[in-house]
Structure 1
Amino acid sequence: MAPTAQKVASSTTSALLRPELLAPAGDRDCIRAAIENGADAVYFGLDRGFNARARAKNFATEELPEIMRQLHSRGVKGYVTLNTLIFPSELAEVERHVIELAEAGVDAVLVQDLGLARLVKAICPDLAVHASTQMTLSSSECIDVAQELGIERVVLPRELALDEIRLIRAATTMQLEVFVHGALCVAYSGQCLTSESLGGRSANRGQCAQACRLPYDLLCDGKLVETGDQKYLLSPQDLAAYELIPELAELGVCSLKIEGRLKTPEYVANITRHYRQAIDEALAGRAVKFPPEEVEAMELSFSRGFSPGWLKGCDHKMLVPAISSDKRGVLLGTVEYVRNGRVAVQLAASIKRGDGIVFDCGRAEDDQQGGRVYEVYQRGRSLTEPVNIGVAELTFAHGAINFEEIQPGGEVWKTDDPELTNRLRKTFAAGVINRRVPVDFAVTAHEGQPLLIRATAEGRAPIEVASSQPLEAARQHVLDEAMLRTQLGRLGSTPFEIRNLQAEITGRPMVPLSVLGKLRHEVVKKLTATMEQVPERRIIRASALSELRATLPVDATPAENDAAPQLHVLCRSLAQLNAVLKCAANSVYVDFADIREYRAAVELAHEASAKIWLATPRIQKPGEAGIFRALSKHGADGVLARNLAGLRYFVQQGLPVVADFSLNCSNELTAQWLDQQGATRISPSYDLNREQLLELVAAVPTKWLECVIHQHMPMFHMEHCVFCAMLSPGTNKNNCGRPCDNHQVALRDRMGIDHPLTADVGCRNTLFNAVPQSAAEVVPALLAQGVRHFRVELLEMASRQEEQQILQTLELYRRLLRGEVTGREVWSKLSAANRVGVTRGTLEERRHPLAII
């Protein structure tokens, strides 16, 4: 195991910034594990909800004051996750919740929702707000916009490479936090709509169903591609960036984050312990290189295979080997033979009695052979110590293994090590104190005056204690600095330790040991009270939300509400655009993979006297602002902005801008802020159901809104490129040969549904739901409340027959807006026309049955 090194401050003279080590906590044992193994801060959620790990145990709100006292008494910060989207009806409850957090002394809240960030700052300007990675702030331009909300720190997307982080660091003053270990989401956080699309379980509401971890088949140009044992096409390996800690520290990253609020306390202890060592090594100027047994120890706590993620750039084949999606632990070796109730394994890692293993029998991960090792033999001798080389014969309890399922050459995985688990538990057992807070002492000892001790714990105000009597002249044992250090340093049963001591001694003073002991106890008591003290904060306890809502403008005038409804149509190819313009569409959006076609699209639209809006990519990373400049040259009538940087850029260019669904507007506070940023209209978040959408419509001027009423849900939006990983010998966009230009690809789920996959101008992939969704039944209610802008989004058109379907779709929605057909007629008729059916999706209480989860 890595040595314990749990000091709050390092005495190193390294010029590197000392980054915070931030650990996850799903329960009280995890908190103790994080503290005692070297975390500088922990993050956790509460049972009120509003956090992105609804499946975690989370903590009762009533526990919060005690949790914060526990953390602060040990010099550890506590951050609470409020990183879900907030619906209008929830704002009042969230307001009360934020007040509780501020009063309890929480050090910061992690927020995804733009409107919630506004609300937190209105309630308590002194409470730090950290932008969750789900806010998708992937460039300095995006961060600049969000910084105006009063955000102090940004948790960067996991998809950024070190060079991109360096560019961001050079262009912003914002504190940057980076994930360094744990599970990787294949989709951009905050941009994954898979669980919502397929089963109404929104990842933006903490209910991710992990569809990325399921097997998929690959289709290329309509034909099934044989992928062998590569079935888990969207399941990345886990992130393990311990060797990159020196580079991240050099970049000036302020916090290194471990993922894992659903993990065990042993996992928290194990991973925190190793990253504590890695940070200390980096600050001492040494390379971080763990020996194989330490890497094995980390893998045993949880691992789908370790990788540097995106930090070293895109290597799609490395990131997603696609052969597994579950925790497999450590590759123990391969089967040599099965004989007489023993399995011989050519070892690649260590094994001993009691370890748990599993055999890869070439079947589903939940249907493998495995068990706990009963005995280990080598050369006919039973071993009591671990062995890691050669061939070892393993035996198991009677009936635990079906040996007929195990074949020579199969992989064997070590999944559990009870001895390691026990060692880890001991690091955070009751009464254990590994982490200590350094204390600096300044002592004044003048003969004839009281002894004065001034003590300062790291990051806290100093405290003072003094003896009740003046110091007498010594007859024998004169007080000296060595005696002071010895006596004041007796802090073993406390969470403190002496670091520096300065002593000013005049005359020949004497101090009884009993007096020094009493003063030491007083010092500890006062230091503890100082550490646990709740900071004084300005808190608006009753009116912050009402004051923000009072600034919302009144709704549209009757004349505006009487305006004819406008149908906008989004096209994804020139062929679609031609088909749409033939049926007299007067407002079109284009979202093309090849933005060089935008010029032709603008010309076509203007020839047909239609207005045309160009869609930006959903993600803008460092060095990609040139895409915005290219879009601005084509003479379009407006822009559909899918990130904050695009919104800011095109507003400054004087173009009308629609803020798209990807900006996750789910309440009136977010809508107002986007309006203040210059958005012409706002497309509400796809996480809103029927009632929540109508609540938003009732809360804001309806002229702000443009509702998408027909679409194929963009489920996964990924930096990972399946085209490159599976259809190219290359590893990234520089050497892949761009198979996306020449092939149509789909992923087939376990229900046999083929979901189309596309690549955008940045080579980012989007997997679209094959089943279109219609909000037709809610349209009459939207019209009645004054909404006048609606959008239909098309996916693809490969045949003349599909052109006729497009024309029929648009005609049905036009008739719906005129009140000539009902919503049920629209989606039922489209179901017959499309043959694959139309679901009512996110805008209906009864969701479409879960397709693959």
Structure 2
Amino acid sequence: MKKVELLAPAGSLESLYAAVQNGADAVYLGGTKFSARAYASNFDEETMTKAVEYCHLYNVKVYITVNTSMKQNEIGEALEYIKFLYEIGVDALIIQDTGIAELVRRNFPDFEIHASTQMTVHNGEGALLLKKLGFSRIVLSRELSLEEIKYISKDLDIETEIFIHGALCISYSGQCLMSSLIGGRSGNRGRCAQPCRLPYGIINKTTGKGKKGYVLSPKDICTIENIKDIIESGASSLKIEGRMKRPQYVAGVVSAYRKAIDEASCQLNYEKQSNFKVEEEKKKLLQLFNREGFSKAYLFGNTGRDMMSYRFPKNTGVQIGKVNKDLTIELKENISIRDGIRFGDDGFTIFKIVKGSKNVEEAFIGDRVKLKPTKYKSGDILYKTSDVKLLDDLSKSYSDIYEKKNNLKLNVKFKIGDPVTLETIYKDKSFKVSGEEVQKALKKPLEKEKVIKNLNKTGDTAFSFIEISFETFEEGFIPVSSINALRRELIDKIGEYIKNEGKRTLNKGLDLNVTSKKELKSQINGPIVVVTTKEQLKAAEECNIDNIAVELFMRDYDIDFKNINCPNVYIKTSTIIKEEFNNVCREIEEKLPYIKGIITSNLGIISKLKEKTLIIGDYKLNSFNSYCMEFYKDILDIATISVELNKKEIGNLVKKAPLPTSIIVYGRTELMVSEYCPIGSAFGEKTGKTACSGECTKGSFVLKDRKGEEFPVKTDKYCRSHIYNGSAINLIPNLEEIKGLNVELYRLDFTDESYEETLSILKGYKNESYEGEFKGFTRGHFKRGVE
């Protein structure tokens, strides 16, 4: 069985030491720019170089996250940064932006690239496409089941990486625009404000029924009990999330999963098993961080309310007991002074523990104690959110950053009249050093044990000698300081070899050219109007729209495709097409004789149908720069510009775009798409995807935030939920400005608009104005952009 990789997060140098010393096979980290965790400590060039050299001493691989969407004016700086990473010997890049992928494969063809989970790869065809286009590893979407992972990893023979522990996004990664549209902090740019962790009401506008809670806040993933099954899925790398977490968290989680992986590997290879106690390790993981417990994410098909932390979105901690009337607590867990305690939304640090009439440093399960300060009241349930003894123990695991050792065998020649020589083999390469000549002993010769003792003083290095043998030993003399110096020279020689082994030099200039622009295929005239309902279609037909796209896959789709009165008909697909992929392809292929093309951001659909019809890449492909379009130039005919760019940034992109471009001038932006349904979870009696309650068919639903803003929630035919911005983008009043940008194709998207609303918008577009008040609309990022 091939060795599976344990991949750990490192948001700081201390976390990196914690990961390596506790058994990680690889680490992933980000620089001070272009990282999807912009608010982690991250690494400047000096600490980045230090990190790579340190990891390579332990044969630990280093993957750097360059996984944000990049604007046109950032590309040059990003490529210079990647050149630096290439030259210091980074093992691979984790990339979201396809423009960066294009430039890396062009300028650094031997630099390994991994497709970030932000690329939303969730079906086999999409994975195959990216493998063909140069990605050596695919970080799969967290929404996949073990069977789907197995199909992509084993059946399609694709190197995959999956998340096994840590925070879970409720939206498909790379498809969330909620933080961006609400507050201008883009998740695609590493600045997510986590609006999903805020409270919302989910309301049926038809009936008035509603429920409140943290309805978009999922529990963290924990798969410590399932590692054997996960390894058998064929995934190459098992990833822990947590670059924003403290080093002790990294140490604890990595050590737990190191034990679990080693135990599972022993079982699978029929070897002697270790003394791994899964319940002990899970308890430690719960204490380090949990949100009302853990979930298995979607690995086993569950998408219901039991994967959500409805009541408390932060670290829940571990319950220590309920407060009695006399304000004592009978302990369910051990506690110590300086532990962190929570009750409700409040918390405190223990300064005193009173047991009977005595103050004690710690107390144990079954003890009856009072805690000071006594902020709590009778009936409160107390939770331990921070265990100081656990954190201290975990800190010790990496306080000596060279506690782990690479074991070497050493051959020594100690012969009178000859120089002392030390020789060892590391990675099939011989390393040899020679020192002073061994002199005849005038008084007392240097004893062999003394030589061995000094050769073993390797404490501040990553190496140790597990076996020291003497080719020759004669009772002579040499200063002990010379033995020590020679040992250091040998180890330094190995260290320098390792540090320089992966370093590379680029002896050519960087290529930032783009190809000339494709012509707009078949000269599409006029806008494309996307409709979902018969009423919207009727309005589009009455306005004599020449290009109508039909969204086939929403639950309220009710259009008779054959009776559409329009010269050019298109199909618009959902971004997410998973286990239903083959059925969707068949449905589309049946309609190919009657359609002009497809609007999609699903990589699998693009790959499968690119030779059969015109393909318009949708805005969820996150095309932020012209090089994104360069990446897709052979498989897309038209590319829709990201809705996160402002007017100036759109202009910069279009000037160099190798593909015809499209822009959304009207429509509700899809903020999230999720396997989880907040409607069914809140109102349904059962949990799990297979137990869909059908509640979403019984009305019109919105999420309502703390400020009273409402966000429509719709479901598709495959029980996925789609959350839309409360206000539609309306750039119709800005059409004159947009014309100056030279975008070739305009698009208007209709989701839940009535016939009258659709008609009003289309007439406004045809008149190149919007006569009604600009009320209830937004210009999105057209004026402001994102950070």
Contact map agreement 2:660 2:744 (CA 8 A) in 1: no
Contact map agreement 1:690 1:778 (CA 8 A) in 2: no
* Per-residue Cα deviation, 1:501-552 (whole angstroms, up to 9, x for no partner): 8x796x997897968766543331211112211525352652321xx32xx1
* Per-residue Cα deviation, 1:187-230 (whole angstroms, up to 9, x for no partner): 11111000111122111011101000000001124344453xx6
Instruction: State the match for 2:250 in structure 1.
Output: 268
How much identity, in percent, do the aligned residues show? 28
Cα distance, 1:493–1:697 mapped onto 2, change above 3 Å: closer
Contact map agreement 1:568 1:791 (CA 8 A) in 2: yes
* Structure 1: runs of 5+ lacking an equivalent: 1-14
RMSD: 3.4
Cα distance, 1:761–1:289 mapped onto 2, change above 3 Å: farther
What's the TM-score, normalizing by structure 1?
0.83
Instruction: State the match for 2:68 in structure 1.
Output: 84
Q: How does 1:437-836 map to 2 (within 5 A)?
A: 437-439=406-408, 454-457=423-426, 461-465=429-433, 491-498=458-465, 520-537=487-504, 539=506, 541-545=508-512, 548-549=513-514, 552-554=515-517, 566-593=526-553, 600-605=559-564, 608-622=565-579, 624-635=581-592, 636-637=594-595, 638-652=597-611, 654-677=612-635, 679-700=636-657, 704-797=660-753, 802-816=754-768, 821=769, 826=770, 829=772, 831-832=774-775
Instruction: State the match for 1:147 in structure 2.
Output: 131
* Per-residue Cα deviation, 1:89-123 (whole angstroms, up to 9, x for no partner): 11111121111111222222111011101111222
Contact map agreement 2:414 2:438 (CA 8 A) in 1: no
The partner residue of 1:326 within 314, 332, 336 is: 314
Contact map agreement 1:235 1:325 (CA 8 A) in 2: yes
Q: How does 1:181-330 map to 2 (within 5 A)?
A: 181-227=165-211, 231-285=213-267, 286=273, 290=277, 294-304=281-291, 305-330=293-318
Say which SS state the counterpart of residue 90 (structure 2) adopts. coil
Contact map agreement 1:34 1:42 (CA 8 A) in 2: yes
Q: How does 1:134-173 map to 2 (within 5 A)?
A: 134-173=118-157
Say which SS state the counterpart of residue 29 (structure 1) adopts. helix
1:66 aligns with 2:50: yes
In structure 1, distance between residues paired with 2:172 and 2:616? 21
* Per-residue Cα deviation, 1:273-316 (whole angstroms, up to 9, x for no partner): 22222222223324996465543433333221322222222242
In structure 2, distance between residues paired with 1:615 and 1:442? 70
Query: AA paired with 1:26?
Result: G
Contact map agreement 2:544 2:566 (CA 8 A) in 1: no
Query: AA paired with 1:645?
Result: G
Q: How does 1:298-447 map to 2 (within 5 A)?
A: 298-304=285-291, 305-335=293-323, 337-339=324-326, 343-360=327-344, 365=345, 368=346, 370-372=348-350, 374-377=352-355, 384-389=361-366, 392-397=368-373, 401=375, 403=376, 406-408=377-379, 410-429=380-399, 431-439=400-408
In structure 2, distance between residues paired with 1:595 and 1:746? 16
Instruction: State the match for 1:12 in structure 2.
Output: none
In structure 2, distance between residues paired with 1:810 and 1:300? 56
Cα distance, 1:541–1:347 mapped onto 2, change above 3 Å: farther
In structure 1, distance between residues paired with 2:34 and 2:697? 41
In structure 2, distance between residues paired with 1:133 and 1:758? 24
Cα distance, 1:61–1:394 mapped onto 2, change above 3 Å: same
- In terms of mean alpha carbon deviation, does 171-180 or 491-500 score higher? 491-500
Instruction: State the match for 2:270 in structure 1.
Output: none
Q: How many residues align?
A: 774
Instruction: State the match for 2:28 in structure 1.
Output: 43
* Per-residue Cα deviation, 1:233-272 (whole angstroms, up to 9, x for no partner): 0000011222222222233322222211211122222222
In structure 2, distance between residues paired with 1:674 and 1:142? 13
Say which SS state the counterpart of residue 689 (structure 2) adopts. coil
* Structure 2: runs of 5+ lacking an equivalent: 268-272
In structure 1, distance between residues paired with 2:476 and 2:107? 51
- In terms of mean alpha carbon deviation, does 668-677 or 727-736 score higher? 727-736
In structure 1, distance between residues paired with 2:562 and 2:664? 25
In structure 1, distance between residues paired with 2:185 and 2:332? 41
Say which SS state the counterpart of residue 751 (structure 2) adopts. coil
In structure 1, distance between residues paired with 2:548 and 2:92? 43
Say which SS state the counterpart of residue 625 (structure 1) adopts. helix
The structural deviation recorded for 1:775 is 2.5
Say which SS state the counterpart of residue 633 (structure 1) adopts. helix
* Per-residue Cα deviation, 1:627-668 (whole angstroms, up to 9, x for no partner): 21222213441211221111111113x111111111111111
Query: AA paired with 1:422?
Result: D
Cα distance, 1:626–1:442 mapped onto 2, change above 3 Å: farther
Say which SS state the counterpart of residue 335 (structure 2) adopts. coil
Query: AA paired with 1:298?
Result: L
What's the TM-score, normalizing by structure 2?
0.90
* Per-residue Cα deviation, 1:368-395 (whole angstroms, up to 9, x for no partner): 35442521436x77655432237x3323
In structure 1, distance between residues paired with 2:71 and 2:725? 25
The structural deviation recorded for 1:786 is 3.3
Say which SS state the counterpart of residue 338 (structure 1) adopts. coil
The structural deviation recorded for 1:165 is 0.9
In structure 2, distance between residues paired with 1:131 and 1:655? 26
